[in-house]
């Protein structure tokens, strides 16, 4: 049983959109409170009498709840615990649920007693940009002393260090008309477009639709009817708890739906949040308007709140934010708060209005409210909650106190133009409402408060028109209109009133603690452009992006510059409209699902055989097959030895395979490869080298001619995609006149290399329909056959330097062919070998691979300069540039540790003994079977001249220096006799 503190009654007995019959228990800073379904954490805290909910960023001043929505600058809290802890949540947007746990932030040791508020006492020494002017001496102190202290003090909430247990999903949506915002304008627009027949999405960031209508009991029937009408239209989708955060090219909008944030944990199989990309034909921005603050000393105290927020708490949530209130406003719209507070039980509301007595003020007086026209508020007192408000007649020095526990502020309303400005719609300054107003753009229109059209009835008419126009632009004829809310629209004209000039800190950015004095200091120091002032002071850069005070800061700067706000402009609104959950946009592409895994058809066999797998791009390939208790190098050497001395089999299915056909296929390949394919006889294969047009080697592989107009090209595993695209580019755009077509058949064929002196005897046992003797299938021969009843294509090609056959079979037969060969080879001691042994064999043989063909090497560099033919091919001309033919370029050599047991490593640089000057570097290494000991390939300046020299393989990262002997890269069978045996 949780004992709840007794409090004065702050919750009204009826009205609003909370379910008083049910209670929800939640905790804030360890203490238990109760609220109701329909509450936000903010309304529940206010109802519980909690005034201080956070501390500010720089001065650690106590702060309360300032707004009732996502524009909240002050009231941030950490929500949830453990791995689900989410920092920096605006309590004004957190939907209350049973068991919710929240903690205040940026205070130490506690919210009530925050020792960091010493910053506030020192604040005169900490003006905007103070850190640019100090902390420079002594130089070493920045990282060690100053910066750690600043970092600890800065920041807001604390992140959980644990992996997020929830999941997220991404959805794509298409519609004719997207309506953003479900206030009266949005509802009218969505209904108009929907009734015209358009596919409509209505996105609302709140958990209830209606926007400002939720504070208008007199319009509740209309709201209900509009929602019912929308629900009845199958072509209209209304999505709540969905913030449209970004506006991108060609009417693509990004949105975030909080699917389960209002529940303790997401239900099984439900994401926590859903990321939407919405492709809209037409967009109606009905995002409403944001109320502005007024800068005056103490305008940040707990108990100061925007007037509209106080009204929302009273009307929507039935919470009285204060019983002795002052309303400080320069516009008629804000007077609506008076009745709301009175109805909710406020003892007294005093109006302070800087304007001369006007009709709204006169009406308020008639209703019995005290109105101080021509007055201004000069201060709010009280550290842990306002207890008195200081005011004075404008122009007089004599301030007086008004006893109060709530100070409602309204500096007027400005359209919420974040989305419109992201889409780069032109903005114009509207003197009437003293705000920037968006125009329309192709496929986009703003409606209602979002374009300065204030008042329920006016906004409804505007929304209806926008919805009809959008539907019409999307090709749907408008239907007869429906009834709209009626009523008098308040006079939206405001007398711009940005600041009260009085002694004390007047904030324009509450979260970042930016004051009017800071803005003026920036101006004095020459940071006069709005972007400079913003960056120098950090104004409007906090998590609320200056929705309540951005324009006020701009106005203070404008006054200092002696110009108008229209000229000075607003700080830029960058995406996002509201901060976006990182994980939601990442969706499912995380952890092991970050990228797909490609497995060959033989993967499961490899796994059963105990293969250790390694990554090769997206592929998983067997590195080696260790026997129980066998060390990796023992396994690799055993596999390598089997190939050199008996027979081995290796899964090479990952090599790229491209089928090339057409009457000009041979001509095409001639132009793409450095060597010639038009002279290749049918039934033969040839090694080929391909350059980029800049003359660097792009890829290598064997190409076989299966028919006069039919070739089969193989690529390296890594470059399969690039080579395919390279071919398509040249065939389609450079030589479209050539008759040639391509298909990637990498996944259609499995292939395996059978290599070693016993390879022929092994295969001969199981192959049918083909004579694989040297006469029947000579080196580089290609022929079809059957093996274990499966169709195969046999290539007599070798990467290992041994007698070898590559057997390709349609992927589905892979296992049958593989197992048949293994069985046939058993008597000869066949071993499957992995990528490591494959590397061992090719390094011994001096064949280049990805480590040498790394995009920085030419054909000559890798010892293949002779492969350049006389005629044209891609890369030929630029390969002749002086920098690419420079004899000083490093070229391929072999290296071998002088002490055979000393390990050499790739990435080591070759230097003369005692020198630090790099002459080259080692690209690949292996322990070897034939020469013995550690050998490798390297790129070395002066290549052939250095054969036989001793250099040092320097690896300073590990403090290693190993003496090596430079040689030809061909350690094994340089005459190439074995492959022809």
| Residues from 506 through 565 that contact another protein (CB under 8 A) | 517, 521, 524-527, 529, 531-532, 535-536, 538, 542-543, 545
Binding another protein by CB under 8 A: which of 7, 31, 590, 950? 590
Minimum distance, C-beta of residue 950 to another protein, in the bound complex (Å): 19
**What token pair was written down for 925?**
């290494």
Q: Where are the beta strands (DSSP E) in 447-510?
A: 507-509
Q: Measured from the CB atom, is 464 or 542 closer to another protein?
A: 542
Distance of CA 377 to the CA centre of its chain: 44
How far apart (Å, rounded) are the C-alpha atoms in residues 325 and 406? 5
Number of neighbours of residue 958 by Cβ within 10 angstroms? 9
Give which of 539, 611, 605, 8 is closest to 319, Cα–Cα.
Answer: 8
**How far is 598 from 611, CA to CA, in rounded Å?**
16
Min CB(533)–another protein separation in Å:
10
Q: Which residue from 38, 54, 64, 157 is in contact with another protein, where contact means CB under 8 A?
A: 157
**84 or 381, CB closer to another protein?**
84
Q: How many other CB atoms are found less than 10 A from the CB of residue 776? A: 11
Nearest CA to 315 among 36, 48, 41, 43? 43
Member of 359, 907, 913, 932 binding another protein (CB under 8 A): 907
**Least distance to another protein, CB of residue 143, Å:** 6
Angle, helices 516-524 vs 530-537, to 10°: value is 120
Among 19, 22, 110, 132, binds another protein (CB under 8 A): 132
How far is C-alpha 6 from the geometric centre of its chain's CA atoms? 46
- Interface positions, 599-628, toward another protein (CB under 8 A): 614-615
Stretch of 44-52, 587-595, 652-660, 680-688 lying at the interface with another protein (CB under 8 A): 587-595
Question: Which residue of 116, 240, 457, 586 would you call a contact of another protein, by CB under 8 A?
Answer: 586
Q: How far is the CB of 267 from another protein (least distance, A)?
A: 18
* Kind of pairing between the strands at 427-430 and 435-438: antiparallel
Nearer to another protein, 38 or 438 (CB): 438
**Which of 573/795 has CB closer to another protein?**
573
Outline where DSSP puts E strands in 363-426: 370-373, 375-381, 388-393, 400-403, 406-410, 413-415
- The residues in 725-744 that bind another protein, with binding defined as CB under 8 A, are 725, 728-729, 732-734, 736
The site map against another protein for 763-792 (x = CB under 8 A) is ------------------------------
Long-range own/partner contacts, residues 877-880 (CB < 8 A, 24 or more apart): 877/695, 878/693, 878/694, 878/695, 879/691, 879/695, 879/696, 880/695
> At which residue do the structure tokens 């999505």 appear?
239
DSSP string covering 510-566: TTTTEEHHHHHHHHHTT--SHHHHHHHHTTT-STTTTTTTHHHHHHHHHHHHTS-HH
Check residue 626 and report its DSSP letter.
Answer: P
**To the nearest whole angstrom, how small is the minimum distance from the Cβ of residue 689 to another protein?**
15
Only segment of 37-45, 206-214, 662-670, 918-926 that touches another protein (CB under 8 A): 918-926
Answer yes or no: are the C-beta atoms of 128 and 533 closer than 8 Å. Answer: no
Residue 977 CB neighbours (<10 A): 10
Give 3 or 737: the residue with its C-beta nearer to another protein.
737
Residue closer to another protein by CB (options 224, 572) is 572
Specify the 3-state DSSP secondary structure of 77. strand
Which C-beta is closer to another protein: that of 6 or that of 151?
151
Instruction: Find the DSSP H helices in 417-497.
Output: 418-422, 456-473
By the rule CB under 8 A, 21 interacts with another protein:
no
Is the Cβ of residue 407 or residue 541 nearer to another protein in the bound state?
541
Q: Are 682 and 780 in contact (CB under 8 A)?
A: no
Residues in region 684-703 near another protein by CB under 8 A: 692-696, 698
Nearer to another protein, 47 or 474 (CB): 474
How many residues are given for the chain?
A: 981
- Of 139 and 631, the one with the shorter C-beta distance to another protein is 139
The string of DSSP letters for 687-731 reads EEEEE-TTSSEEEEEEEEEEETTEEEEEE-TTTHHHHHHHHHHII
Window 421-440: residues binding another protein (CB under 8 A) = 424
Quick note: the x/- pattern for another protein over 342-381, rule CB under 8 A, is ----------------------------------------
Which of 216-223's residues contact partners 24+ apart within 8 Å by CB, and which partners?
Answer: 216/315, 216/456, 217/15, 217/315, 218/487, 219/184, 219/456, 219/485, 222/483, 222/484, 222/485, 223/187
C-beta of 226 vs 835, nearer to another protein: 835
Range in contact with another protein (rule: CB under 8 A) among 470-478, 559-567, 580-588, 646-654: 580-588
Among positions 561, 878, 903, 930, the unique one binding another protein when judged by CB under 8 A: 878
Query: Which has the closest alpha carbon to 328: 452, 492, 500, 213?
Result: 500
3-state secondary structure of 260: coil
Residues 929-958 that bind another protein (CB under 8 A): 954-958
Complex with another protein: residue 352 or 908, whichever CB lies closer: 908
Out of 34, 130, 598, 965, the residue judged to bind another protein by CB under 8 A: 130
* DSSP structure class, residue 314: H
Span interacting with another protein, options 6-14, 84-92, 181-189, 402-410, rule CB under 8 A: 84-92
The only residue of 488, 594, 888, 914 in contact with another protein, by rule CB under 8 A: 594
Site of tokens 């005034």: 51
Contact 808, 652 (CB under 8 A): no
Strand partners, 515: 507
From 13, 124, 269, 608, residue interacting with another protein (rule: CB under 8 A): 124
598 forms part of the interface with another protein (CB under 8 A): no
Which helix (H) or strand (E) is 882 found in, with range? helix 882-885
Which is closer to another protein, CB of 340 or CB of 874?
A: 874
In the set 628, 883, 887, 914, which binds another protein (CB under 8 A)? 883
Pick 526 or 628: Cβ nearer another protein = 526
Of 205 and 545, the one with the shorter C-beta distance to another protein is 545
List C-alpha distances in Å: 489 to 193, 457, 765.
24, 6, 95
Binding-site string for another protein from residue 40 to residue 59, where x marks contact by CB under 8 A and - marks none = -----------------x--
Binding to another protein (CB under 8 A): which residues in 271-300? 277, 279
Peptide bond between residue 138 and the one before it cis (omega within 30 degrees of 0): yes
The interface with another protein within residues 86-115 (CB under 8 A) comprises: 86-88
Binding piece for another protein, criterion CB under 8 A, among 203-211, 636-644, 721-729, 820-828: 721-729
CB of 856 to another protein, least distance (A): 4
CB 692 → another protein: shortest distance, Å? 5
Q: How far is the CB of 141 from another protein (least distance, A)?
A: 11
Radius of gyration of the chain (CA): 38
Cα dihedral sign for 398, 403, 409, 410?
negative
The nearest distance, CB 690 to another protein, in angstroms, is 12
151 binds another protein (CB under 8 A): yes
Closest to 788 measured CA to CA, from 810, 755, 803, 805:
810
From the list 606, 632, 609, the residue with the least C-alpha distance to 839 is 632
Q: What angle do CA 722, 670, 893 make, to 5 degrees?
A: 70
* Interface characters, 393-422, with another protein (x: CB under 8 A): ------------------------------
Binding mask 241-270 for another protein (x = CB under 8 A): -----x-xxx-x-x----------------
């Amino acid at each position: 049983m949780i004992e709840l503190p007794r409090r004065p009654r702050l919750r009204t007995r009826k009205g609003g959109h909370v379910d008083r019959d049910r209670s929800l228990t939640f905790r804030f800073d360890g203490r238990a409170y109760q609220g109701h379904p329909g509450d936000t954490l903010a309304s529940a805290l206010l109802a519980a009498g909690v005034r201080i909910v956070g501390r500010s960023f720089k001065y650690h001043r106590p702060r309360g709840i300032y707004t009732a929505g996502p524009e909240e600058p002050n009231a941030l809290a950490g929500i949830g615990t453990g791995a689900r802890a989410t920092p920096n949540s605006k309590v004004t947007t957190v939907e209350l649920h049973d068991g919710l746990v929240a903690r205040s932030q940026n205070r130490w040791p506690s919210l009530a007693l925050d020792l960091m508020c010493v910053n506030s006492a020192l604040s005169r020494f900490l003006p905007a940009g103070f850190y640019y002017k100090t902390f420079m001496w002594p130089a070493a102190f920045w990282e060690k002393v100053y910066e750690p202290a600043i970092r600890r003090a800065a920041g807001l909430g604390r992140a959980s260090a644990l992996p997020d247990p929830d999941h997220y999903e991404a959805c794509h949506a298409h519609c004719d008309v997207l309506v953003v915002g479900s206030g009266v304008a949005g509802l009218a627009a969505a209904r108009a477009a929907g009734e015209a027949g358009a596919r409509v999405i209505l996105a609302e960031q709140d958990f209830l639709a209606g926007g400002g209508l939720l504070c208008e009991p007199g319009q509740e029937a209309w709201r209900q009817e509009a929602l019912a009408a929308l629900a009845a239209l199958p072509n209209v989708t209304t999505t709540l708890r969905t913030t449209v955060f970004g506006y991108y090219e060609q009417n693509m909008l990004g949105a975030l739906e909080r699917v389960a944030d209002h529940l303790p944990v997401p239900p099984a199989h439900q994401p926590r949040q859903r990321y939407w990309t919405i492709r809209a034909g037409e967009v109606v921005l009905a995002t409403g308007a944001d109320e502005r603050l007024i800068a005056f000393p103490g305008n940040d105290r707990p108990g100061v709140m925007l007037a509209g927020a106080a009204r929302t708490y009273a009307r929507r949530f039935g919470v009285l934010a204060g019983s002795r209130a002052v309303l400080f406003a320069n516009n008629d719209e804000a007077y609506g708060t008076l009745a709301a507070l009175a109805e909710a039980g406020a003892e007294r509301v005093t109006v302070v209005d800087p304007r001369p007595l006007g009709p709204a003020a006169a009406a308020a007086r008639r209703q019995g409210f005290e109105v101080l026209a021509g007055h201004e508020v000069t201060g709010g007192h009280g550290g842990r909650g306002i207890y008195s408000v200081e005011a004075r007649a404008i122009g007089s020095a004599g301030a007086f106190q008004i006893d109060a526990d709530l100070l409602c502020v309204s500096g007027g309303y400005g359209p919420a133009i974040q989305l419109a400005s992201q889409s780069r719609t032109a903005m114009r300054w509207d003197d009437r409402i003293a705000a920037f107003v968006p125009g329309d753009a192709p496929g986009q229109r703003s409606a209602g408060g979002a374009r300065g059209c204030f008042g329920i009835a006016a906004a409804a008419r505007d929304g209806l028109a926008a919805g009809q126009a959008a539907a019409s632009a999307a090709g749907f004829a408008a239907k007869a209109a429906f009834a709209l809310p009626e009523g008098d629209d308040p006079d939206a004209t405001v007398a711009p009133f940005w600041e009260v000039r009085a002694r004390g800190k007047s904030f324009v950015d509450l979260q970042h603690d930016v004051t009017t004095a800071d803005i003026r200091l920036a101006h004095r120091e020459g940071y006069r452009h709005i972007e400079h002032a913003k960056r120098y002071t950090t104004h409007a850069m906090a998590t609320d992006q200056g929705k309540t005070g951005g324009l006020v800061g701009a106005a203070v700067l404008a006054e200092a510059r002696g110009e108008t706000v229209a000229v000075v402009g607003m700080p830029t609104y960058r995406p996002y409209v509201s901060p976006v959950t990182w994980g939601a946009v990442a969706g499912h592409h995380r952890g092991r699902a970050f990228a797909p895994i490609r497995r060959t058809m033989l993967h499961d066999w490899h796994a059963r055989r105990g293969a250790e797998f390694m990554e090769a791009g997206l592929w998983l390939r067997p590195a080696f097959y260790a026997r129980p208790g066998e060390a990796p190098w023992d396994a690799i050497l055993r596999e390598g030895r089997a190939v050199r001395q008996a027979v081995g089999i290796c899964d090479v299915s990952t090599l790229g395979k491209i089928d090339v056909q057409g009457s000009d296929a041979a001509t095409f390949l001639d132009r793409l490869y450095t060597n010639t394919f038009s002279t290749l006889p049918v039934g033969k294969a040839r090694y080929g080298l391909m350059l980029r047009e800049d003359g660097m080697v792009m890829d290598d592989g064997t190409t076989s001619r299966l028919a006069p107009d039919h070739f089969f090209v193989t690529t390296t595993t890594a470059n399969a995609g690039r080579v395919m695209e390279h071919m398509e580019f040249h065939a389609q755009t450079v030589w479209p006149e050539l008759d040639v077509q391509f298909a990637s058949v990498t996944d259609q064929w499995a292939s395996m290399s059978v290599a070693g002196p016993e390879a022929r005897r092994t295969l001969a046992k199981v192959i049918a329909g083909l004579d694989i003797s040297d006469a029947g299938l000579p080196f580089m021969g290609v022929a079809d056959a059957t093996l274990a009843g499966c169709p195969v294509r046999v290539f007599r090609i070798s990467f290992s330097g041994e007698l070898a056959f590559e057997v390709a079979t349609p992927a589905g037969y892979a296992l049958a062919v593989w197992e048949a060969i293994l069985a046939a080879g058993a008597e000869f001691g066949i071993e499957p070998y992995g990528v490591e042994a494959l590397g061992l064999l090719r390094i011994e043989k001096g064949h280049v691979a990805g480590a040498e063909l790394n995009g920085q090497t030419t054909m000559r560099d890798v010892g293949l300069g002779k492969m350049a033919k006389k005629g044209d091919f891609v890369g030929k001309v630029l390969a002749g540039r002086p920098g690419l033919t420079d004899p000083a370029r490093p070229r391929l050599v072999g290296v071998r540790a002088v002490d055979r047991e000393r390990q050499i490593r790739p990435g080591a640089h070759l230097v003369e003994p005692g020198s630090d000057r790099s002459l080259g570097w080692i690209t690949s290494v292996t322990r070897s079977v034939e020469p013995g000991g550690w050998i490798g390939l390297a790129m070395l300046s002066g290549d052939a001249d250095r054969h036989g020299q001793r250099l040092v393989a320097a690896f300073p990262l590990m403090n290693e220096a190993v003496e090596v002997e430079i040689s030809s890269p061909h350690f094994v069978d340089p005459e190439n006799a074995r492959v022809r045996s």
